[in-house]
Chains A and B, each alone.
Chain A
Amino acid sequence: MRLREIPITAWVGIFGILLAIFCALFAPWVAPFGETEVVGGVWQEADAQFFFGLDNLGRDILSRLIFGARTTLFVAFAATLVSFSLGIVLSFIAAVSGGLIDTVFSRFNDLMMSIPTLIFALVVLAVLPQHILILILVMAVLDSTRVYRLGRAVALDVAVMEFVEAARLRGEGTTWIIFREILPNTLSPLLAEFGLRFAFAILFLSTLSFLGLGIQPPTADWGGMVKDNKDGIIFGIAAALVPGSAIAALCICVNLVVDWLLKRTSSLKGGRGDA
């Protein structure tokens, strides 16, 4: 892989993601003000001191945006990681074992997927106590159904290949077959799927926070910031759109990278990149 072959759109995406990660890691040093520090009047206009202006309680929007990157990225990333591990492990076990295990796992997955994710999350979050760990787990479990479906399809595609049969004929164990024969051949599509799931997790978390069921105040997170400032819209105050744009920008960046990964995968397979 040479750097020159990465298209400009993917570079834009990579740059955007790195910027968000940088903000998240070094928030206390980068942000001009504190996360919950009240520094002026309610919905004060942007000026040289407050780049994006102040929010509904007089806090600096830019600072909260930078601190919000922390929460949003961390929760979304943690949820994606858990959902991926869960989905991939279960789907690969199902694909390699087949038979009853596959049937039971897959039918249960179908059942979980027959309820729309947001509705399922609403029902579950109505019951569970509000805690960041629970939020991550709920997001992860619901999303792992999508990972499972893709993981199983991809693994089955590879598992029926003759080189896997050849490994079985040699007498190799299940671990070898999963990790040495199947996994290396599924990395590209899975990596792209990880990106997609991550973008979805950011959107989903923001939506939950926006509905008041995600991250609880006063911790800054982008979806919650939209909720805090939404009443300003009627007065023509665009404060709610700033965190909204941040969410959109980050998701676009992730999608640009995913798009490039997907095209690369299909060209490796010798298929048409645009189909």
Chain B
Amino acid sequence: MASNESHGINVTQVCADILCEFLEVAFHLILYIRELYPPGIFERRKKYNVPVQMSCHPEVNQYITNVLQSVKPLIVKDELHRVVLAVLNSSHQPVERFVFEIAPVIARSLSNDNYLLRLEQSLRAFLLKLNVCDAVLEEIPSDCSFIILVYTKESSVLEIEQTQFIQNFPWIEADKSNYTMNDVKMVPLKAVSSDLIKMQLYAEESKQKIS
């Protein structure tokens, strides 16, 4: 289990799967916490042994799934730097960003965490932290939407373009307005550093949220 390819387990691939799953859960949770959608479309589920909320809206779900599907190859190659869920106000200006910053792990190994217990704990901690993040963040204006941004290398973008063609889910380069905010304050939320996944989550909020 020590190496990347032991017992038929490709640790890198496994990590990518775990990460994608986690991101999916986290996105749903953020949507719920930040009240981007009415609570009615969410249902309670249990993940990592903590209650989470998951959207039942097929189109929302489809969007999130598609994003993560097309991003997964990047994660496998450690080319995904950040995944950002940006909350946009009614004029499509970002007011809040939840940034998952993913750092490459030099030598992935399961040797310290054979049954992924510690990893699960860390992810659970993330979710719990997300659950309470509204305490440290300002309220967002009503009528907000969201968008998912991905930070990666240009070469990877080209690669994505090949695969997206198949998935019919094209990526475009983000407008500057989509990812820049004025007068940003950053709230670090959680960080995990293990032999498998190294990631931190922080929220950025614009001061002129309400205005």
Determine if chain A interacts with chain B: no
Write the residues of chain A forming the contact surface with B, with a CB cutoff of 8 angstroms. none
